[in-house]
Amino acid sequence: MNDGVEPVMIDLTDVFTTGMMFETRDELLKWARNVGTENGIVVVIFRSENATARPRTKTKSIIGYERSGKYRPWKNHNLTRSTWTRKCDCPFRLRGTRSSVGDGWYLHVICGLHNHELAKKLIGHSFLGRLSQDEKNVLGDMTKNFEKPKNILLTLKDHNVESLTTIKQVYNARQAYRSSLRGSRTKMQRLLTLMERDKYVYRYRKVEGSDELRDIFWTHPEAMTLVNNFHIILIMDSTYKTCRYRMLLLEIIGVTSTEMTFCVGFSYLQFERVDNFTWALQMVKEHITSGEVEVIVTDRDLALMNAVENVFPKAVNLLCLFHICKNVKANC
């Protein structure tokens, strides 16, 4: 059913018809891609065969449009998320074959028709926006320096004004780079390796009878030095399962004599229970050797308040003024 709309058919047979003999397959592909870019299409390799692959076959490459083919649905039919595809089953096909005499290559048009409008701009086509090896090196260096993706993209476009890379491809490349650093290790193994390398102080405990991580606490050695010099006041707050692992993040802050704040430590906790908070606070307490904590500021989290009373019984537990005002406004 086409709803009365005539299908689009654009013939580019004459554009890709050539009697040229190319010295190598790469030159043939380069020529076809340049012609495709000039006419608003992205040319990619569909299939390549060598003469030794199967009996009675010739060395050839089948070339087509980036959006050719049909969408292959997920094998799991229970998925409820909506899907979208760029495939439009375009029939456009080219064939590159090696010359029977010598090492040259010829290009033949199998089908020059396109069932879609030609693109006026090629920005957003994933193939043309791929990063070169030099660009990947720049992205890796900037990622190590904690540069934002938008700054990485601007740097890449400054180096190559004709770049068609998009911000989404920068995000994907950053993820691939980080995965390459991790190698075969899991994310938790990678985290522990980095903590060992940078000499962080960390503790963790597992679920009984399993390798599953239950809670983890970590802090920088310089933070331990600071908290031993300024251990009078500690401020504690937690975020409620907003990370991808659905774990609670407890953050502990200290205050210097000049009213500057510093991070004492962090802890990912499996549950928002007294036992989990008590374990994390005990990890802090065992590293404070210069005196007693006198004041602890928290929000009105009963589990955290009970854990504070268990671990720091002599400390005064105050409620955070910010959270009090926030609750008052919410209930007005």
Task: Say if residue 221 is in the same domain as residue 314.
Answer: yes
280-292 pLDDT, tens digit each: 999 999 888 888 8
Task: Say if residue 146 is in the same domain as residue 267.
Answer: no
Q: Give the gyration radius of the chain's Cα atoms.
A: 31
Note the pTM of the prediction, 2 decimals.
Answer: 0.61
Q: Which of 140, 157, 183 corresponds to the end of one domain?
A: 183
Task: Say if residue 103 is in the same domain as residue 177.
Answer: no
8 A C-beta contact, residue 264 and residue 223: yes
Task: Say if residue 313 is in the same domain as residue 238.
Answer: yes
Task: Say if residue 173 is in the same domain as residue 121.
Answer: no
pLDDT of the residue at 174: 92
Task: Say if residue 201 is in the same domain as residue 284.
Answer: yes
* Nearest alpha carbon to residue 307 among 332, 272, 331: 272
pLDDT of the residue at 1: 42
For every residue of 61-89, DSSP letters joined together read: EEEEETT-S-----S-TT--S--------
Task: Please give the residue range of the domain that contains residue 152.
Answer: 129-183
Task: Say if residue 287 is in the same domain as residue 207.
Answer: yes
For every residue of 253-313, DSSP letters joined together read: EEE-TTS-EEEEEEEEESSSSHHHHHHHHHHHHTT--S----EEEE-S-HHHHHHHHHH-T
Domain count of the chain?
A: 3
CA angle, corner 262, sides to 329 and 196, nearest 5? Answer: 125
Task: Say if residue 153 is in the same domain as residue 250.
Answer: no
pLDDT of the residue at 154: 92
Specify the amino acid at residue 34.
N
The tens place of each residue's pLDDT in the chain, 332 residues long, gives: 444 446 678 888 888 888 888 888 888 888 988 888 888 888 888 888 776 656 666 778 888 888 787 777 666 666 656 666 777 888 888 888 888 777 788 888 888 888 878 877 777 677 777 888 998 999 999 998 889 999 999 999 888 888 888 898 999 999 899 888 888 888 888 888 888 888 898 888 888 877 778 889 999 989 888 989 998 889 988 887 666 777 788 899 999 888 899 999 999 888 888 999 999 999 999 888 888 888 988 888 888 899 999 999 888 888 877 767 776 677 76
Task: Say if residue 139 is in the same domain as residue 90.
Answer: no
Task: Say if residue 51 is in the same domain as residue 39.
Answer: yes
Task: Say if residue 115 is in the same domain as residue 63.
Answer: yes
pLDDT of the residue at 55: 61
- SS3 of 310, please? helix
Q: What's the CATH code of the domain at 218?
A: 3.30.420
Enter the tokens of residue 220: 């920088």
Q: Which residue has the tokens 């180096």?
A: 159
Task: Say if residue 163 is in the same domain as residue 241.
Answer: no
- SS3 of 105, please? strand
